[in-house]
Amino acid sequence: MGLFDTIKNALVEDDAPHVTPVAKKVETNYAPTPQTTQKTYSSPAQTPLSSGKMKDILLNGLTSNLSGSPYLNFQNMNNKMKLKIADTSTRLSAISASMEVQGITKQAILDGANNAVAFLNNESSTFQSELELNIQRLEQEYKNKTDNISSLLEQKQNQIKVLSEEISSLQKDKSTTDIQTQEEKTHLEVSRIEFSGSLNSIIQEIRNDINDININLGV
């Protein structure tokens, strides 16, 4: 697993111990020892890691990939002795003497330190490349989502426009129908009045004729 994946997993995984080799081993001039179980650090998704946790991951990467390095042994001893021996020269001399007893020379320590720098520089290049690819992927996903939303938005806006036009047309049709219906009702009412008036007039004329007949023509 690369450094980028280790850091990415640390953002979302539970804080549970498991093996986390960081990258391929770099060439060294000493025999590596078996890898030890490492521990990742959890953090809420999409929340950046703190500098402390990021440093832990980098140091774990060094320990996992450069295990047995004379420099890492030197660094570990140096860190432990800082509180006991404040003077740098005295402390380093004591560490050097102790490591020389084990057959570890100053040059071996320096070679290990240079290997550590080379490893970190290599991891940095890989990390930056993977990070850039993920940024590009994220930007493409964002573009795809926003393009889809924009397309749907345009469709809905067009639908709203069509519906608005249909509603306006229906409102006009309703208004026209209301007017036409009222006019037709008025015409029918006028016809009914005229019909009743004409009917009553004719009936009255007929009754007048009946009355005239009865009076003027006798039995």
Where along the chain do its domains lie?
3-130
- What is the token pair recorded at 76? 């570990």
Residue 139: predicted pLDDT: 96
Residue 38 backbone dihedrals phi, psi, to 5 degrees: -105, 175
The per-residue pLDDT for range 11-28, each reduced to its tens digit, is: 555 444 444 444 444 444
CA-wise closest residue to 39 among 24, 22, 23? 22
Task: State the pTM of this model.
Answer: 0.51
The DSSP H or E segment spanning 84 is: none
Residue 64: predicted pLDDT: 84
Residue 27: predicted pLDDT: 45
Alpha-carbon distances, residue 111 vs 94, 129, 172 (angstroms)? 20, 27, 90
